[in-house]
Structure 1
Amino acid sequence: MAYYSVLAVTPTSEDWIPAYIGPANALVAKHGGRYIARTSSHERLEGEGEDAALRIIIEWPSREAATAFMSDPDYIPHLKARTEGSDSHHFLIEGKDDLA
């Protein structure tokens, strides 16, 4: 079953970004993930709150693949840089419909 990482990221510093993109791309692919969206082009259709600068959606083949990516020793320093240099919210969503 597919899982989806849904992130809202607002950089507080851009220093980490150039060193993050290449390794993150490679590690997402290594764990079977694929970016569906990485964009600042988004709009709120409902609700209130602060808007994130970036919205990111990654499709994973399984929950295990997503959690293996997050705990990969090669990703940990990049995760630390991202979380220290941004306001980030990351949700892992199972690709199923509980209301069907």
Structure 2
Amino acid sequence: MSYYSVLDVTPTREDWIPDYIEPASRLVAQHGGKYLARTTSHNQLEGELKEAALRIIIEWPSRQAAEAFMADPLYQPHLQTRAAGSVSHHYLVEGKDDLG
């Protein structure tokens, strides 16, 4: 079953971004992930305003793949850099319909 990482990222500084993109992209792919969206083009249509500079959606083949990516020792320094240089929220969503 597919899982989806949904992230809201607002950089508080931008010096980390150039060194983050390539290794993070490579590691996502190594863990079977695929970027569906990495964009500053987004609009909130409903609810209390939750601003973010960037919205990211990654499709994973399984929960284990997403968790393995997040725990990968090669990703840890990049995750720490992103966390230190941004306000980020990461949600892991199972690709199923519990209501249908």
TM-score scaled by length of structure 2: 0.98
Q: Distance in 2 between matches of 1:44 and 1:92?
A: 19
Aligned partner of 1:69 in structure 2 is 69
RMSD between aligned residues = 0.5
* Letter paired with 2:41: S
Give the whole-Å Cα distance in 2 for the aligned partners of 1:67 and 1:49.
Answer: 29
Unaligned runs of 5+ in 1: none
Aligned residues between the structures: 100
Q: Give the distance between the partners of 1:75 and 1:40, measured in 2 at CA.
A: 23
Q: Name the % identity.
A: 71
Query: TM-score normalized by structure 1?
Result: 0.98
The residue identity in structure 2 corresponding to 1:59 is E
Structure 2: which 5+ runs fail to align?
Answer: none
* Alignment pair present for 1:32 and 2:32: yes
Match of 2:22 in 1: 22
Describe the SS at the equivalent of 1:32. Answer: coil
Counterpart CA distance in 1 for 2:36 and 2:58 is 6
Q: How far has the Cα of 1:50 moved from its partner?
A: 3.2
